[in-house]
Amino acid sequence: MVAALAGPAAAQDLTPEERRTIEIFRRARPSVVFITSLALRRGLFTLDVQQIPSGTGSGFVWDREGHVVTNFHVIQQGDAFSVTLADQSEWEARVVGAAPEKDLAVLKIRAPREHLTPLAPGTSRTLLVGQHVYAVGNPFGLDHSLTTGVVSALGRELRSPSGRRIRDVIQTDAAINPGNSGGPLLDSGGRLIGVSTAIFSPSGASAGIGFAVPVDTVTRLVPQLIARGRAIQAGIGASFIPERFNKAVGVTDGVALAEVQPDGPAAKAGLAGAQLTRSRRVVLGDRIVAVDGKPVRSEDDVRDLFEAAGVGATVTLTVARQSARRDVRVALAQD
């Protein structure tokens, strides 16, 4: 009799906050998946090709067409992939698109629509430090996990697997362990506000500092990855001299153009790249020192401002050649 009453009695003792947390987890659980990444390796003696596990992580259902969102680093080392849904059904998956510069990837599975429960997206633009967040994952493929916390900070920066800077990253104290990478970060309404991507920890376990890619970035990029396989990059038809060479070639400020594509926006605006003389000396062309009045010190700065403006937008570049400076208007094109 005691055992029979334990469940209802315990439920009656729950606080309103506990009830809300339980409901958030109950609704999100069917959407969160377990991802296995497999690498193809040839046997040393048999020469047979075998599939070797190369990593695992979490992800979540994006739509009823079978698209699943996760971190790029979860699938980075894999050649084949499988997705396990909340009902424990396992499905072969293929990569339809990836944005390493934002640590995002999209897989697709052929599961029936009735097996797929997409998460409702929220917004990260209006997040406030201190509001409650919930991190859901499926780190072992056997059952789901939930950790809770608050938004600890906003506007953080993180290096992606490609080395590019991810801006406006959400910092939370909700525990995000390695197996939770790619899982959703939710607000108190159960809406998606980020994709758990990294932790700061010397030991490799959660130490109360976790990071998530903001959902506003996710909702902008995922449709591009589904449609095109990659993110649409805004640019001016030019490459830049890597920062590590700045001292050697004499760049003291701004971002120097390396090559300018013929008939591209930069060329049409009269910008010139660097030239290599017969004696192998680099002669600098134009340097971008500001975009729409905002000073730039790295290629990341330039790319971030181009990304914020978007393809088709016109920006004002402040460019320098030797000691002379001028402003030029350039229409951003797809890079």
SS3 133: strand
* List 31, 37, 82, 103, catalytic entry: 103
Answer yes or no: 79 catalytic: no
Largest pairwise CA distance in the chain: 93
73 tagged catalytic: yes
Q: DSSP readout, 158-178?
A: EE-TTSPEEEEEEEE-S---G
Active site residue 54: no
Contact 227, 186 (CB under 8 A): no
Could you give the count of Cα atoms lying within 13 Å of 136 in the half-sphere of its Cβ?
29
| Helix locations, the chain, DSSP H | 2-12, 16-28, 72-75, 215-228, 246-249, 265-268, 299-309
Residue 189: which region, alpha, beta or left (left: phi > 0; alpha: psi -120 to 50)? alpha
Nearest Cα residue to 253 out of 292, 219, 287: 287
Compute how many other C-beta atoms are within 10 angstroms of the C-beta atom of residue 156.
Answer: 16
Active-site residue, selected from the candidate residues 67, 73, 173, 216: 73
Beta strand 210-214 pairing with 192-199: antiparallel
The single residue of 124, 145, 160, 181 carrying the catalytic annotation is: 181
Alpha-carbon distance of 21 to 256, in angstroms, equals: 51
Residue 212 near residue 170 (C-beta atoms within 8 A):
yes
DSSP letter, residue 125: T
Q: Structure tokens of 193?
A: 């506000």
CA angle 155, 158, 159 (to 5 degrees): 150
CA distance 270 to 263: 10
Active site residues: 73, 103, 181
